[in-house]
Structures are given as C-alpha cells and as structure tokens.
Amino acid sequence: MKQQAGGDPVRLLFCGDFIAQKPREIVLSGDLRKLIAECDIKCLNFEGPLPIGNPVTIPGTAVLPQSMDSPPWCEENGFNLISLSNNHSGDFGETSLLKTVDAFKSATVIGAGTWEEAYSVKSIEIESLKIGFLSVAQCEFGILNDHWTTKESIGCAWINYPGLNNIIAEAKRSLDYLFVITHAGIEFFDFPLPEWRDRYRELIDAGADAIIGGHPHVPQGWELYKGKPIFYSLGNFYFDMPNRREYFSNGLVVVLSLDDQKAFSFQVYNTMFEGEEIKIDNSEKIKLHNEETCRILANEKAYIEVVNKMCLTLWRSYEATLIRALNSDRSTFSIKEWVKYVSHILQRRKTEYRFILNYMRCESHRFAISRAVKLISGVRI
C-alpha cells in the first residue's frame, strides 16, 4: 500500500478498542475529527467480528459482535489501518472473521486471516519512508498459537509464538520503522503485569520501534525503553457496552511523528466517549490519573506492590470460576458463590473444560494466578 504525504513529518495516529452497535449515531467532536484528518495513518483495534453465524465461544462469556455498518463507518471517518488480532475476533468462527477482513474495502487489515496473513508484517510507504505494522494478541480462543495443529486454520496472530521475534527482526531489515500492536493484559486494571512488561521490551529488542497496547479497556500508562515508547493500554476509543468501571469510557490517542532520519516523537491525547460522542478530554482528573500511573510504572517497589494487590484481588474470582468449572466442593463459598456453584451443576452437570483450557493457555490469567498463589503460599522462588 502506498500513500503520499506533503513533505512534513509523517504522522501516525493510534486509537484504542472499538466496538459499536449503532456506528451511524457516533459523533466525533470537531477537535478530534481535525486531529484524525491531520494524520497520514489512522489505526484502531476493531474488537469483535461481524455477526455471521452462531457464537463459538464458551457459554456464559462475553460475545462482542460489531454492526455491519462498523467497517464502512471506520473507513468513512479516515481509519485506514485496522488491527484485528484480539480475543474477540473469533467469537463467530472462521467464516465470520474472513467476512470481517473482507468488509474493509480500502483500509489495510493486520493480524488476522490465514496463518501467513495473520503473521505478515504489512508495510505502508509514505514518501521516502517504509513503515511496517504487526498485530498480535494473547492466547485465547481464535488465536493461531500452534504451528502443528492450527497452520491451516483462520485466526489471529499470537504474541508469544516462538518465531515472532525472528519475524520482527527479519521484517525490520527492509523497513525504516516497525510498530507492533498488542492485545493482552488484565481487564479493568490500571497496570500491566510484569511478564507483559518484559515481553514488550523483548519485542523492542527484536526490532520494534514502539509497542501500542490494548485489551484492558482502561488506560495503563506508558514508558520509554531504550528510547522507544511502550503504551501498555490505550483503553477504549468507543465501546458500546454498559460498564460502570472508572475510566472505562476513557482512552488514549497516540500520535507519532516520523522523519526520514529514523527519529520520531510522540504526543498523547486523552479521549472519552459519552453517549454517542467521542471527544478529547482535557479534564484535570484524567491528566492526573495518567501521570500517576506512569509515575508508579517508573517506581519498581510501588509498582510491584500494586500488582501483588491486584493479583490477590483477582484470585478469589479465579478460584470460584475454576471450582465451578470442575464441579468441586468448597466450604468457604459465600452464599452468592454457592448459588452460582449449584446453578453450574444443574445447568451443565459436567466439567467445563473450555474454561480450564482458557485459564491455562491465556498468559494473563496464568501469570496472575501464579503470582497470587505464590503470594498466598509464601513461596519465595
């Protein structure tokens, strides 16, 4: 794909997660629309496929279909780079995912399709710059995680595929810039897990010039590693689901300015959606929140304390879900948990192996469970 710019620094705009049931009713504020128009490449994470066929995920878990009008709305509003590697792209199966890819007529789609398509670094040339993009996600349903058994399947690229570092290193040899868009982490928590921080830094070492993260549905701050930015979560750009969690309606829009000297700068804008409007958020509250998040990321002791507390809080939810999945007994259940447990038995009367599989192979769940159990058990190493 080739585009032309006007001699000024090339500007790349990245937005967070997007899901819309009635996209034609969405209104972009004037200053946000102007910002999007001023950039050459405009990217968002298209979270969820077109609802073609029946859902194929675990019963009782969230299914996120997009409106059939969402792909044209994205393109009409200037978005020309669509990231599809996420945990909901496979919600309606392979045919749905392929139809979703095909629904974008002019935008470049990354991270999904056949094995070769999902793991392909797509390049866009603007004047003298050749810029590459790769989209990858943590291992949940719909992810092409096993070369031996999913090579012929349709799905999304896996962030921990053993060959990914080599894909990045090889692609970077013929590119001026390479940006990796990631989809991983614990939902609704303000900080990334240490394991993801290590992995994202490793991707920078492999050749990425920046990491643009999503999935937690809240902003998670950013840092520089070897002079290159890592944005752990941009939060939501627009997410058409009721949710009262703080900062669920907030997002980050990142604008990277590139030049032909292989140096770039970035600027972060706070956004929020309220009703059908998406706008730039200049409030002091979100400004201070993001500053505090970045400050804690830079303080190892404070950061680990927050992460440990987060994982211990999560453990009770993990424990209850795993017990119900196994149809096991638990004397410490609360009344509410007992109701869920009995309901689980009455409805299924069998072990729900897909719950267990997702907790085993999804890195975020596994990392958090391991950290929590280690803290509870008192094991030091």
Cα angle: 36, vertex 200, 139; to 5 degrees: 95
Domain-terminating residue out of 298, 323, 346: 298
Report helix, strand or coil for 240: coil
Residue 110's domain comprises: 2-298
Phi, psi of 254 (to 5 degrees): -105, 130
Query: What are the tokens at 134?
Result: 């790769």
Give the per-residue pLDDT at 125. Answer: 96
pLDDT digits (tens, 9 = 90+) for 97-154: 999 999 999 999 999 999 999 999 999 999 889 999 999 999 999 999 999 999 999 9
pLDDT digits (tens, 9 = 90+) for 179-194: 999 999 999 999 999 9
Give the per-residue pLDDT at 4. Answer: 45
Give the per-residue pLDDT at 327. Answer: 65
Residues 6+ apart with CB under 8 A from 124: 1, 2, 3, 41, 81, 108, 130, 131, 132, 133
Are residues 118 and 248 located together in one domain of the fold? yes
Are residues 250 and 236 located together in one domain of the fold? yes
CATH code of the domain covering residue 279: 3.60.21.10
Q: How many CB atoms lie within 10 A of CB 292?
A: 12
* Nearest Cα residue to 209 out of 223, 225, 185: 225
Are residues 225 and 340 located together in one domain of the fold? no
- With contact defined as beta carbons under 8 Å apart, do 240 and 278 qualify? no
Q: Which residues pair with 131 in a beta bridge?
A: 124, 177
Matching residue, tokens 């298209």: 46
Q: Give, for 356, the enclosing helix (H) or strand (E).
A: helix 353-361
Alpha-carbon span 288 to 355, nearest angstrom? 38
Number of domains making up the chain: 2
Helix, strand and coil content of the chain, in percent to the nearest 5, comes to 35, 25, 40
Are residues 251 and 138 located together in one domain of the fold? yes
- With contact defined as beta carbons under 8 Å apart, do 144 and 150 qualify? yes
Residues 6+ apart with CB under 8 A from 13: 35, 36, 39, 41, 42, 43, 253, 254, 255
Query: What are the tokens at 251?
Result: 């997002």
Domain-terminating residue out of 263, 298, 333: 298
- With contact defined as beta carbons under 8 Å apart, do 91 and 49 qualify? yes
Are residues 340 and 268 located together in one domain of the fold? no
Are residues 173 and 66 located together in one domain of the fold? yes
Are residues 183 and 97 located together in one domain of the fold? yes
Domain-terminating residue out of 282, 298, 314: 298
Are residues 166 and 241 located together in one domain of the fold? yes
Phi, psi of 95 (to 5 degrees): -60, -40
Give the per-residue pLDDT at 356. Answer: 84
Report helix, strand or coil for 258: strand
Are residues 205 and 339 located together in one domain of the fold? no
Q: How many CB atoms lie within 10 A of CB 194?
A: 14
| Single-letter amino acid code for the residue at 312 | L
Give the per-residue pLDDT at 291. Answer: 98
Q: Classify residue 239 as exposed, middle or buried by CB count within 10 Å of its CB (0-12, 13-18, 19+).
A: buried
- Size of the chain in residues: 381
Report helix, strand or coil for 253: strand
Are residues 328 and 363 located together in one domain of the fold? yes
Give the per-residue pLDDT at 380. Answer: 83
Are residues 350 and 232 located together in one domain of the fold? no
DSSP state of 66: P
What pTM was computed for the model? 0.92
Are residues 307 and 279 located together in one domain of the fold? no
Per-residue pLDDT of the chain (381 residues; tens, 9 = 90+): 444 444 689 999 999 999 999 999 999 999 999 999 999 999 999 999 999 999 997 766 789 999 999 999 999 999 999 999 999 999 999 999 999 999 999 999 999 999 999 999 999 999 889 999 999 999 999 999 999 999 999 999 999 999 999 999 999 999 999 999 999 999 999 999 999 999 999 999 999 999 999 999 999 999 999 999 999 999 999 999 889 899 999 999 999 999 877 778 999 999 999 999 999 999 999 999 999 999 999 999 999 999 999 999 999 888 877 776 666 555 555 666 656 656 655 565 566 788 888 889 999 999 999 999 999 999 887
Report helix, strand or coil for 133: strand
